[in-house]
Amino acid sequence: MNVYRTREGLRHAFRDVLNFYHPDCIDTRFGGYVTQFDERDGYVYDARSKHLVATARAINNFSLGVLADGPEWCRTAAEHGLRFLSTAHWDPENEGYDWLLEGREPTDRTRFCYGHAFALLAGARAHQAGIPGGRDEIDRAFSVLEERFFEPEHGLYADRASSDWMDLSPYRGANANMHTLEALLAAGEATGEGRFLDRAYTIAERFTRELAAETDGLLWEHYTDTWQHDLSHNEDEPDHQFRPPGYQPGHHAEWAKLLCLLAEHREEAWLLTRASELFDAAVELGWDEEYGGLYYTVEESGEPIVDEKYGWAQAEAIGASALLARHDPTYLEWYDRLWSYSTERLIDPRHGNWYERLTREGELPEPDHGPEVEPGYHPITNCWLAMEVLEDDPMALGADG
């Protein structure tokens, strides 16, 4: 029996990732978090860089620790991070979140929708966990997203702007909208306000039905400023770190997860149907039958473009398969297969943290020692979702947890 079909097993994996970062992640000099830990040996390689997304994701993690009845230090850690987000990252003059800081000094003030979405997620999870100031952050982040990024004529969000909001990039992307959808779902659940869920539904329908209809049901990542598919985007940079060409199996699984969550609040039958279709596409196109794991990017045929295996993609597919299994137990086969690959290859047996990426064959490449880290957000979030599935139905994953 897969131990991760039980609460005990999931809580163990959940706690291991939190413990990898805490208490060394608490920055008592500048405030906020230190998140740049070497994934193999655990040492801090950069104690000064403060990335907006890393700050927000760590708040999410510790807030989920509170919601999962974790150690008391989860509450203290979440409060610590939320204070930093609302002061150091927030630019009161231009009313936006700064992207990158050195200590407390801004070094990149580009306004990314992606970053503001994570600020909304952080506020939502903090509010849900009863952290003071969470509700204020929800209102502030949502206001910026609506006033600066949302394009009513398209029903979607723009990608990025200059620090003074005068210049809006012509690039439009799926990733920013996907994470805005995630944050809106969290805000709706935390506040009980339908406006967040209504906006989430709009994004879901535009992307996974209307835009996907133009690419045979698959989800393209890159668009023009009029939301036309930009099929040649970065075609000369197949290994681009953040905007590679091709289809991403991990994102198909992540969208499937979000549709399952949205279906808990809406009655439209297409949500679960599309969730199943997108997950099925993720594993049919992206699963490596020889070495295991989901490829990073693939052609429409399933031929890999970048054959590396990213930890976040496997974690998102675990969360999606757990949610889908509530409606169709056959998805437990994928739940088990994904956990098997992750425990054998991706999870450090010494520290319990997840490696960022592996080669196709499952070897560790040289680590990326940049500020754009995801301090355990994907495994923590998806372990928590699987625990929530068991909370609703102790037998949902096929074991009495």
Handedness of CA 35, 36, 38, 41 (dihedral sign): negative
- Give the catalytic positions in this structure: 251, 378
Angle between the N-to-C axes of helices 52-67 and 113-128, in degrees from 0 to 180, rounded to the nearest 10: 20
The whole-angstrom separation of Cα 101 and Cα 56 is: 13
Q: According to the model, what pLDDT value does residue 106 have?
A: 98
Question: pLDDT tens per residue, the chain (401 residues)?
Answer: 799 999 999 999 999 999 999 999 999 999 999 999 999 999 999 999 999 999 999 999 999 999 999 999 999 999 999 999 999 999 999 999 999 999 999 999 999 999 999 999 999 999 999 999 999 999 999 999 999 999 999 999 999 999 999 999 999 999 999 999 999 999 999 999 999 999 999 999 999 999 999 999 999 999 999 999 999 888 888 888 778 999 999 999 999 999 999 999 999 999 999 999 999 999 999 999 999 999 999 999 999 999 999 999 999 999 999 999 999 999 999 999 999 999 999 999 999 999 999 999 999 998 889 888 889 999 999 999 999 999 988 888 987 54
Can the peptide bond before residue 23 be classed as cis, meaning omega within 30 degrees of 0?
yes
Assess contact for 22 and 59: CB atoms under 8 A.
Answer: no
Rounded to two decimals, the pTM is 0.98
* Residue boundaries of the structural domains of the chain: 3-392
Can you tell me the distance from the alpha carbon of 194 to that of 327, in angstroms, rounded to the nearest whole number?
Answer: 24
pLDDT at 242: 78
- Residue 98: the pLDDT is 98
* CATH number listed for the domain at residues 3-392: 1.50.10.10
Q: How far is the CA of 114 from the CAs of 34, 141, 146, in angstroms? A: 20, 11, 13
Alpha-carbon gap, residue 30 to 80, rounded angstroms? 11
Question: Can you read off the two tokens belonging to residue 296?
Answer: 């990073």
Q: What pLDDT does 401 receive?
A: 46
